[in-house]
Amino acid sequence: MTKRRAVLAQARRWVIKIGSALLTNNGQGLDNKAIAAWVEQMAALRQQGNEIVLVSSGSVAEGMTRLGWRERPQALHDLQAAAAVGQMGLIQAYESAFQVYDHHTAQILLVHDDLSNRQRYLNARSTLQSLIGFGVVPVVNENDTVATDEIRFGDNDTLAALVANLIDADVLVILTDQLGMYSADPRTNPSAQLLRELPADDASLSGMAGSSLGSLGRGGMVTKVQAAQLAARSGTNTVIVGGSLDDVLVRLAAGEELGTLLYTDNKPMAARKQWLAGHMKTRGVLVLDAGAVRVLKASGKSLLPVGVKSASGRFQRGEMVSCVDELGNEVARGLVNYGIGEATKILGLSSDKLLKVLAYQGDPELIHRDNMVLL
């Protein structure tokens, strides 16, 4: 059995992401015929015993169409208004299409803070798990009506990967307007080859992805690669495939070689470590010396102040920071025990000197190993 067939034969919980360009026929309003076709395929997958969570773009694009706007607005409040208008049509389209097969849907709107806050993360996980158990198809989108640059996911590829982490999905399918991922941009390089199967952690992927952006969405192939790498942390495999292919989802489920499979052999992280790794927003950066990097990678111990060379950002106690080596490569991230002011005072010091500097006995670790994940 090929890797692809093995992956898809074992997949029972699917996260399916559909992008704006596909849903809106490049800005010409919702493509209800295409939506009906995808829903028919999702209903067929459910008939086979699979569980489906749908992550759908399209609210801003649909709102633009309803409001008669030809270009994506730049002002945040205009984007939020378009999302509010478009969300109505988008959910109505899905609800009507799924009702044909007697399937109920549920609207789930998320912002990054919903997954950054541990309690809200667990609430979102429980709600999604319950909906799946009830046989409902959750339709997830970023809550663009309230999201700001500080709290938004940035693109629904990232959101889809975090949802895959959240529910321990077996496979993430990203439906796009390309057939899959190519060795180079096929629009400018006629010799570009469609990539069939690669490990999600393959170092060459980012270089091949390019950075193309559409006028309707915020993502490109780079965000899809990053999403696959993020999904891999929970043991989820990713397929990037052309959403316009006939019966694409059903054919994938049958193991047909479509699109690009970015697979992982990683065992899923523990739930708390998944949550930590899923933080896309960090409040600061700690630069570690070579010795601290070696200790973290070799034994996964706590990070002590003595191994940190510098700190930057505007973080407070309990907030997420990125830990990088002296070349700027991220090696870990975690929740700090000190804010930026106190952290700066104790950098490079051994734990027995903290009392004298801080005038109180604080935590000996800058980041405890239980609140840190290696990347």
pLDDT for 280: 61
Going from the N-terminus, what domains does the chain have, and what CATH number goes with each?
3-274 (3.40.1160.10), 282-374 (2.30.130.10)
What are 170-218's pLDDT values in tens digits? 999 999 988 998 888 777 888 888 989 988 888 777 666 554 444 334 4
Per-residue pLDDT of the chain (375 residues; tens, 9 = 90+): 577 777 888 889 999 999 888 888 665 678 999 999 999 999 999 999 999 999 998 888 888 889 988 888 888 888 888 889 999 999 999 999 999 999 999 999 988 778 777 778 878 888 999 999 999 999 999 886 665 554 355 578 989 998 998 898 999 999 998 899 888 877 788 888 898 998 888 877 766 655 444 433 444 688 888 899 888 888 899 999 999 999 999 999 998 999 999 998 877 666 667 777 766 678 899 999 999 999 998 887 899 999 999 999 999 888 889 999 999 999 999 889 999 999 999 999 998 888 888 888 788 999 988 888 888
d(CA 147, CA 170): 28
Distance (Å) of CA 346 to CA 317, 322, 338: 14, 18, 10
Alpha-carbon torsion (302, 232, 15, 320), positive or negative? positive
d(CA 279, CA 299): 23
d(CA 139, CA 89): 13
d(CA 142, CA 108): 8
Question: What is 165-233 written as a DSSP string?
Answer: HHHT-SEEEEEESSSS-BSS-TTT-TT--B--EEETT-TTHHHHH-----SS-S--HHHHHHHHHHHHT
User: Can you give 225-269 as a three-state secondary structure string?
Assistant: HHHHHHHHCCCCEEEEEECCCCCHHHHHHCCCCCCEEEECCCCCC
> How would you class 328 by CB atoms within 10 Å of its CB: exposed for 0-12, middle for 13-18, buried for 19 or more?
exposed
pLDDT for 150: 45
264, 201 contact by CB (below 8 A): yes
pTM above 0.85, yes or no: no
pLDDT for 328: 93
318, 363 contact by CB (below 8 A): no
pLDDT for 218: 42
